[in-house]
Structure 1
Amino acid sequence: MCGITGWVSFERDLGQHTDVLDAMTTTMACRGPDDEGTWVRGHAALGHRRLAIIDLPGGAQPMSVEDDLVAMVYSGEAYNFVELRDELRKRGHAFRTDSDTEVVLRGYLEWGPAVADHLNGMYAFAIWDTRTEQLVMIRDRMGVKPFYYYPTDDGVLFGSEPKAILANPDAERVLDLDGLRELMTMVKTPGHGIWSGVREVEPGTVVTADRKGIHTHRYWQLRTAEHTDDQETSVARVRELLDDTVRRQLISDVPRCLLLSGGLDSSALTALAAVQLREQGETVRSFAVDFVGQTENFVADEMRGDPDAPFAHDVAEHSKTEHEDIVLDSSQLADPELRRTVITARDLPGGMGDMDFSLYLLFKAIRSRSTVALSGESADEVFGGYRWFHLPEAQQANTFPWMVFGFQRHGQVSDVLEPGLASRLDLRSYIGDAYQQAAAAVDRLPGEDDHTYRMRQLSHMHLTRFVRNLLDRKDRMSMAVGLEVRVPFCDHRLVEYVYNAPWALKTYDGREKSLLRGATADVLPKSVVDRVKSPYPSTQDVGYLVALQQQGKELLADTDNPVYELVDRRWLAETVALDAAEVKWGRRFGLERALDMSVWLDLYRPTLRVG
């Protein structure tokens, strides 16, 4: 896992601009604390920061072969690199290192951009091929690893994060109305980089840049196919895929652990990993986040019915893990410096408030003990776990289902905005248009009934839009502290298989995530098997909200703050004046957004074209 960046300019000798490349590379220091390197030849410049995971002494980058004819910067992991290396050796390739990086690079020499078809993993990499004067950028199928690019008049800039691109003077720090619309909603338009001019390399896509321009080719996407396996066979196949995926993703030359919330997803991975490592004489290390007094004083609400800690402890005891709770208090979560750190990591004020802050602090604590962690992220999208999947009003709504069930209702977003800006943004129309595009992208099987097709549409939206917000959040928070987080449920084989299972099969026991529960029940405690889905935790301590209100009052006192170009001053004044006990979740979320935007404007000094 690393940070990559680079620059191609067909009209300049970039050997004269190494200081700019160095500045771009430095922005990726958190992603790669172990090593750094640059490579410059004529019109191409590559920068790399390394987090060493596989072949610690031999995986240095940028890596080149054939006397610098081809050079690469690579971020991520190819979980099938051992098999690929054996295949490439049979095809005549000789290897200097034991790293997966060299396997991917030599795979490019063998197959060209089609090397992507051979990879199982999470990756974002760029290859400069001097033979064709072409930059090849490739991103993994599910978009686990971030990858951005910025076309210029004479080439292209790229990076793991926008901050690497924005460090180049050729890139403007501009946010326009469309960027703000994308930022303030959770529609995740494919390819949209939010910053004006910044694009994402879309998941499952190859982007090439040469003297003729920029070209894209999609090498993978979710495709509708008939599912012919019965229930018993489907459950067995899910277990087979999970066992193989966990085995692959436990490979590491550095300490690894499991993120354990006590929900079905993380518990299943922890239990499967414990079984596999026990066979090797090892014990799983597991970590959970908790808040001071949360378990003892927990109050059920529409999102969460019970606290996580008791269930996480049940799994730790059942699987005999070496478990540790990372317990946080409100003063830590409300620390303004933490907000600045998180906004810097995310590049934008589009976060999830205390859920971002606690995730960062959890990862920071884990990083002092492990370098790799496995996470249950994306299981809800794959197996249909969210509550709104199962609500008729969400199933039938003419919008994204997560908009219906309180995650980010339109009103909660617009209320915090300056009224004139809210009118110009017209978020309702933006969300509506995005929804129609997403719904139209899903193919229907011949003879598929309306309800089954509708649930296929909802599943597709989650796997191609909703999950990408969460994967980006996970990546930014983990890489900000140099922790590699792997997501086994994003294995494309598992995603393809479960996506095409009809909804009746995904809910065969009348509950959410039936296939996952059936595939892993034998290794889990009954308490977790029976537990109802609960989202990532959020603090219920009113002291956290009181601290936010105080920060809001301080922001109000700064009458000339540029944030009032975005935020409704009257709404902010009303919110900080309320009794903390009266502040609902949506208003708290808006307050966090207002504070985020203020910090972001101070840190990034963007040009706002929102008039």
Structure 2
Amino acid sequence: MCGIAGWADLGRDLTQEADGAEAMVRTMACRGPDASGMNVGTHAVLGHRRLSIIDLEGGRQPMSEPLGGGSEVVLSYSGEVYNFPELREQLRSHGHTFRTRSDTEVVLRAYLQWGPDFVERLNGMFGFALWDGRAERLLLVRDRLGIKPVYVARLGGGVLFGSEPKAILAHPEFSAAVDPTGLADMLGLIKSPGMTPFRGMEEVPPGHVVTYDRNGLRSRRYWQLTRQPHGDDLDTAARTVRELLEDTVRRQLVADVPLCSLLSGGLDSSVLTALASAAEARSGGEPVRSFAVDFVGADTDFRASEFRPERDSPYALEVARHLGTEHRVIELAAHELMDDDARRSVLRAHDLPLTFGDVDTSLHLLFRGIRQHSTVALSGESADEVFGGYLWFHDPAAIAADRFPWLSRMQLITPDLLAPGFRAATRFDEHRADSYRQAIDGVEHLPEDDAHERRMREISHLNLTRWLPVLLDRKDRLSMAAGLEVRVPFCDHRLVEYVYNTPWHIKAPGGEPKGLLKQAAADLLPRSVLDRRKSPYPTTADLLYEKDLRTRVRSLLERRSSPAFDVVDATGLSRLLRQPEGYFNTQLRRNSMETALFLDEWMRGHGGLSA
């Protein structure tokens, strides 16, 4: 896994201006601590920071191929293409020879063989830039689900690009103005495709290729969720899901560095750990390494709720013993979650005031701990979106509501805590409603779908296209800031396409959340894990954390000149603090205060709202 950054401009000689691109590349060191490189051409500079995973010596980047006449094709690539062995054999049959064992070279030669449509042949997670000197054309490519990020911004007649906003913000000629509508979109958990809180900067949407050439800048979608007939019964669907998962996990175990599994003891991570253990056993490999997080004092501090009914640790240990993994628990104390450096690391990793508070801090600290032992980790992220596991998939009120379903249980900041001027200027409520309707309009249905099937397909589509990207972006930023590559097998597009088109009564037979996945994995795990209720990523219930949070918010309120109050209502924040001690013992109740604090620091770094 790596970080990319660069600059293309057909109207400037960039060989004389490479310093700007070099500054951009330096910001990606967190994503690529092992090596760096730049390819400087007349009209394009491609930079790269590498986290070495496959072919540690041969996969250096940017990678180029001379084409004669002084032109070349250059690739700066981040991600993994899991079907690269098959593609390499296909390319060999077309006469290509290979200098390395890396998937990077396979991607480069796939473009040379098949042109811009080559991306449709790739199975994996990727975000990369490819410069074709013959056509004077830059391609920015992002994987289908948006696992790996790519950002782009216009600069004069050219474009800047990078894996994260910080790369573009580092260019000396780019002005980092805060866009109010983009900020409202982020705070509202709307995730409008391409939108960012920075004026003039866009995110390459999942499943898109952005092209820059003499005809300007344009975007093409190469993949989207489509509605297809599905005739399989439950048993057939379960077998198909199992086969797809086995193949996906087998492919995603390929690495030349230590690999592990994130094991919470929930269904999703346990299924992947079981499949990985079985695959390693078949190949004569070592026991899978597994990691879990817990909090000091959680055995006495934990309080069950509908949102989080029980602790993870007992189940994670049960699965680890059942599978024989080499299991480690990384235990975090409240003072580590309150540490200023840790909180700032999360803000730097995000580049945005998007935080789920101690969830993000603990996740980043977990990744740091794992990185001492492994470089690659498998994660169960996206299984809830694919198989319908969240509570809002099964809550009649959330299903019937004319809004994004996750807002019934998850918000960064409640609308009543937004400053009235900001809420009015951004048309916050109207923007969220309009975005919801636009998202719904993009869902395809078949004539035979009844009303319930249509609605559940809409809920699934919304989760996969608007909610999942928020979580994938979060996991990418916090893991890569620790130099850890996280792979997400449930995001394999073949699995996503198949399950998306599975009727709801098969996906959730008898109304059972993720019933299809449970049947596919019935022989892999203890019954207690298969029957376990959904429990989100854990958070601390230590009162010390709540007290620290209150102290930070009081300090913010004493500084009424903070630019955060252009966005957050100070009176509402003061009223929130009057809740009794213990009220903020859950992440959901803390989110608004955490967001206000992040907004304060982020906006002081980037300036106030632009007009």
- Please, what TM-score do these two structures have when normalized by structure 2? 0.97
Deviation sequence 1:171-197 (CA, Å, 0-9, x none): 221112211211211111112123111
Residue of structure 2 equivalent to 1:301: 305
Question: For residues 468 and 562 of structure 1, what CA distance do their matches in structure 2 show?
Answer: 28
Structure 2 residue 256 is the aligned partner of structure 1 residue 253: yes
Question: In the alignment, is the contact (CA less than 8 A) between 2:293 and 2:330 conserved in 1?
Answer: yes
Q: How far 1:302 moved relative to its partner? A: 2.5
Residue among 402, 410, 422 paired with 1:398: 402
Q: How far 1:558 moved relative to its partner? A: 3.0
5+ long unaligned stretches in structure 1? none
Residue among 563, 575, 593 paired with 1:591: 593
Q: Secondary structure at the match of 2:182?
A: helix
Residue among 324, 327, 344 paired with 2:348: 344
Residue of structure 1 equivalent to 2:562: 561
The one-letter code of the counterpart of 1:6 is G
Deviation larger for 97-106 or 326-335: 326-335
Question: In the alignment, is the contact (CA less than 8 A) between 2:263 and 2:270 conserved in 1?
Answer: yes
Residue of structure 2 equivalent to 1:221: 224
Question: For residues 584 and 487 of structure 2, what CA distance do their matches in structure 1 show?
Answer: 36
Residue among 88, 91, 95 paired with 2:94: 91
Residue among 376, 385, 388 paired with 1:384: 388
Residue among 203, 208, 213 paired with 1:210: 213
Question: In the alignment, is the contact (CA less than 8 A) between 2:238 and 2:519 conserved in 1?
Answer: yes
The one-letter code of the counterpart of 2:581 is A
Residue of structure 1 equivalent to 2:536: 535
Residue of structure 2 equivalent to 1:320: 324
The one-letter code of the counterpart of 2:179 is D
Structure 2 residue 462 is the aligned partner of structure 1 residue 461: yes
Q: How does 1:419-438 map to 2 (within 5 A)?
A: 419-438=420-439
Q: How far 1:506 moved relative to its partner? A: 0.6
Structure 2 residue 181 is the aligned partner of structure 1 residue 182: no
Q: How does 1:418-497 map to 2 (within 5 A)?
A: 418-497=419-498
Question: For residues 121 and 557 of structure 2, what CA distance do their matches in structure 1 show?
Answer: 55
Question: In the alignment, is the contact (CA less than 8 A) between 2:540 and 2:585 conserved in 1?
Answer: no
Residue of structure 2 equivalent to 1:5: 5
Q: Secondary structure at the match of 1:547?
A: helix
Residue of structure 1 equivalent to 2:66: 66
Deviation larger for 567-576 or 440-449: 567-576
Q: How far 1:258 moved relative to its partner? A: 0.1
Question: For residues 429 and 304 of structure 2, what CA distance do their matches in structure 1 show?
Answer: 31
Deviation larger for 450-459 or 298-307: 298-307
Residue of structure 1 equivalent to 2:548: 547
Question: In the alignment, is the contact (CA less than 8 A) between 2:262 and 2:377 conserved in 1?
Answer: yes
- Aligned pair count reads 606
Residue of structure 2 equivalent to 1:506: 507
Question: In the alignment, is the contact (CA less than 8 A) between 2:293 and 2:331 conserved in 1?
Answer: yes
Question: In the alignment, is the contact (CA less than 8 A) between 1:286 and 1:321 conserved in 2?
Answer: yes
Q: How far 1:430 moved relative to its partner? A: 1.4
Q: Secondary structure at the match of 2:172?
A: coil
The one-letter code of the counterpart of 2:582 is A
Q: How far 1:44 moved relative to its partner? A: 0.5
Residue of structure 2 equivalent to 1:574: 575
Tell me how large the CA RMSD over aligned residues is.
1.4
Q: How does 1:70-219 map to 2 (within 5 A)?
A: 70-219=73-222
Question: In the alignment, is the contact (CA less than 8 A) between 1:416 and 1:591 conserved in 2?
Answer: no
Residue among 331, 335, 344 paired with 2:339: 335
Deviation larger for 229-238 or 332-341: 332-341
Question: For residues 564 and 143 of structure 1, what CA distance do their matches in structure 2 show?
Answer: 32
Question: For residues 363 and 278 of structure 2, what CA distance do their matches in structure 1 show?
Answer: 27
Question: In the alignment, is the contact (CA less than 8 A) between 1:314 and 1:527 conserved in 2?
Answer: no
Structure 2 residue 591 is the aligned partner of structure 1 residue 601: no
Q: Secondary structure at the match of 1:72?
A: strand
Residue among 364, 370, 381 paired with 1:366: 370
Q: How far 1:587 moved relative to its partner? A: 4.5
Residue of structure 1 equivalent to 2:28: 28
- Please, what TM-score do these two structures have when normalized by structure 1? 0.97
Question: For residues 560 and 261 of structure 1, what CA distance do their matches in structure 2 show?
Answer: 42
Deviation larger for 170-179 or 415-424: 415-424
Question: For residues 21 and 503 of structure 2, what CA distance do their matches in structure 1 show?
Answer: 49
Q: Secondary structure at the match of 1:174?
A: coil
Deviation larger for 426-435 or 446-455: 426-435
Q: How far 1:211 moved relative to its partner? A: 1.6
Any runs of at least 4 consecutive aligned residues in structure 1 with deviations exceeding 6 A, and if so which? none
Question: For residues 574 and 391 of structure 1, what CA distance do their matches in structure 2 show?
Answer: 30
Question: In the alignment, is the contact (CA less than 8 A) between 1:550 and 1:576 conserved in 2?
Answer: no
Question: For residues 282 and 117 of structure 1, what CA distance do their matches in structure 2 show?
Answer: 34
Question: For residues 103 and 446 of structure 2, what CA distance do their matches in structure 1 show?
Answer: 39
Q: 1:375 to 1:587 in 2, by over 3 A?
A: closer
Q: How far 1:493 moved relative to its partner? A: 0.2
Question: In the alignment, is the contact (CA less than 8 A) between 1:14 and 1:45 conserved in 2?
Answer: yes
Q: How far 1:418 moved relative to its partner? A: 2.4
Deviation sequence 1:389-417 (CA, Å, 0-9, x none): 0111111111111112x2128xx422333
Deviation sequence 1:524-552 (CA, Å, 0-9, x none): 01110110111111111121110111112
Q: How far 1:426 moved relative to its partner? A: 3.3
Q: Secondary structure at the match of 2:218?
A: strand
Q: How far 1:22 moved relative to its partner? A: 0.9
Q: Secondary structure at the match of 1:56?
A: coil
Q: How far 1:555 moved relative to its partner? A: 2.1
Residue of structure 1 equivalent to 2:19: 19
Question: For residues 583 and 289 of structure 1, what CA distance do their matches in structure 2 show?
Answer: 21
Q: How far 1:208 moved relative to its partner? A: 0.6
Question: In the alignment, is the contact (CA less than 8 A) between 2:128 and 2:141 conserved in 1?
Answer: yes
Question: For residues 360 and 346 of structure 2, what CA distance do their matches in structure 1 show?
Answer: 7
Residue of structure 1 equivalent to 2:42: 42
Question: For residues 595 and 340 of structure 2, what CA distance do their matches in structure 1 show?
Answer: 13
